[in-house]
Amino acid sequence: MTDAQRIVIVGASLAGASAAETLRSEGYPGQVVLIGAESELPYERPPLSKGVLLGKDQPESAQLHDQQWYDDRSIELRLGTTVIALDTAAKTVTTDDGRTTGYDELLIATGSRVRRLDVPGGDLAGVHYLRTAGDSQALTAAYAAKPRVVVVGAGWIGLESAAAAKERGCEVTVIEPQPTALASVLGEQVGALFAELHRQHGVRLRFGTGVEGFEGSDRVTGVRTSAGEVVPADLVVVGVGVQPNTELAEAAGIEVATRENGAGIVTGPDLRTNVAGVYAAGDVARWQHPLLGRPVRVEHWSNAKQSGAVAAKAMLGQDVAHDALPFFFTDQYDVGMEYAGDVPRGTAYQVVLRGDPASGAYLAFWLDEARHVLAGMHVNTWGAIDGIQELIRSGRPVDPARLTDPTVGLADVQG
């Protein structure tokens, strides 16, 4: 792209900021406008549920760059500003301050928002969600009083919130309707290993139990479960997933997948939407993955960073494709984990463990019926993730017996 005058990025997220940074590093000379609804400078989310929530890091540590960095690169930041409409025919965006801004190319990086529990008492003081920097600061301050904490949801955010609360001296109970922790993400076998980790640290776990409401007059005092029990609580953290912010795109006639089909703004491998000059990146994008051969939407840090850079290069006319494998990581207590790959919902798979989970260091692999590695993870086995990703990328079947044997290198397990 040589004739564009202005690129507008809707969403001052990690994806949006990464795109802006890439535009400048790739030599784009035109205007770059980065618009974000939050008032904070663009930041990374992982520290919010890790170091910041543990009280070890300041919220500012999550910032990507300071204001001077954006000024030095002539990136116009409009923070605390919400885009309320897109006109793809006129190539304009309208913001809540009444301003209309034209663009030559547009990137939608609006991210996602937490799913809220629609139950009685959901608006009581003391019921928290964790998504934004403000959410993290409020929860970090609340943990300092060492309250009785009930976490609703045993997904990644729920478990990281529970671990941080426990490490800060709180009494913690986790309530989850599924049979174990992370069942929909890792399956019951591996999810049970994370459940046991929390059990060993004194977290009370209530699986197979839903939440029917929150007790209290002005402030939450308990959580009423589907089993008819009221679990005492001074503070509740709800972590029941997120949903992509696709409303702007949908209203503008940009193709959006239904929730049944994975939700998100539909794009090709280059993150281009069905509307000329409009791209999507980060949590909100559901793109055709060139390696996996199917559409995927990923709600994790690495995808936001990588997809923002890919979208920027595509807007500049470069021949690029977003082929990075889905990747995420977690830190809970003394456990560090990295995961790569993707297991589509409904897929029949076999789990193969390499190493003894009781030792605190092991690998896990998810194989399809043809013995291809769909995904893999390591726990406290640093340096293994590159080998895991190579097995997935190779597309070659593996020998489960060799994969189980820690004396056989990962490069030699195919068979």
Q: In this structure, what token pair is assigned to residue 102? A: 């034209």
DSSP reduced 3-state for 147: coil
The CATH number for 405's domain is 3.30.390.30
Kindly report, residue by residue over 33-55, the tens digit of the pLDDT: 999 999 999 999 998 888 989 98
Residue 327, in any domain of the structure: no
Of 238, 268, 302, which residue is a domain's last?
238
> What does pLDDT average to over the chain?
96
Same domain, 339 and 406: yes
Kindly report, residue by residue over 308-355, the tens digit of the pLDDT: 999 999 999 999 999 999 999 999 999 999 999 999 988 999 999 999
Kindly report, residue by residue over 225-238, the tens digit of the pLDDT: 999 999 999 999 99
Same domain, 94 and 165: no
Same domain, 214 and 266: no
**Pairing mode, strands 222-225 and 211-215:** antiparallel
Same domain, 12 and 103: yes
Kindly report, residue by residue over 99-110, the tens digit of the pLDDT: 999 999 999 999
Same domain, 133 and 230: yes
- pTM for this structure? 0.95
Of 206, 238, 270, which residue is a domain's last?
238
Same domain, 34 and 90: yes
Residue (of 163, 91, 160, 120) closest to 329 by Cα position: 160
Residue 297, in any domain of the structure: yes
Q: What is the pLDDT of residue 260?
A: 85
Q: What is the pLDDT of residue 24?
A: 98
Section 260-274 average pLDDT: 95
The CATH number for 248's domain is 3.50.50.60
DSSP reduced 3-state for 26: coil
Residue 46, in any domain of the structure: yes
Same domain, 81 and 25: yes
Place of tokens 């564009």: 4
Residue 326, in any domain of the structure: no
Section 102-127 average pLDDT: 97
Same domain, 267 and 193: no
Residue 402, in any domain of the structure: yes
Q: How far apart are CA 45 and CA 53, in angstroms?
A: 11
Q: Is the pLDDT of residue 4 over 60?
A: no
Same domain, 301 and 355: no
Residue 342, in any domain of the structure: yes
Of 315, 348, 374, which residue is a domain's last?
315
HEC sequence for 241-296:
CEEECCHHHHHCCCCECCHHHCCCEEECCCCECCCCCEEECHHHEEEEECCCCEEE
pLDDT band at 57 (very low <50, low <70, confident <90, very high): confident
Q: Domain containing 307: what range? A: 6-113+242-315
Same domain, 137 and 232: yes
Same domain, 120 and 230: yes
State the total domains in the chain: 3
Q: What is the pLDDT of residue 1?
A: 46
Residue 325, in any domain of the structure: no
Same domain, 247 and 105: yes
Residue 198, in any domain of the structure: yes
CA atoms within 13 A of residue 237's CA, in its CB half-sphere: 35
pLDDT band at 59 (very low <50, low <70, confident <90, very high): confident
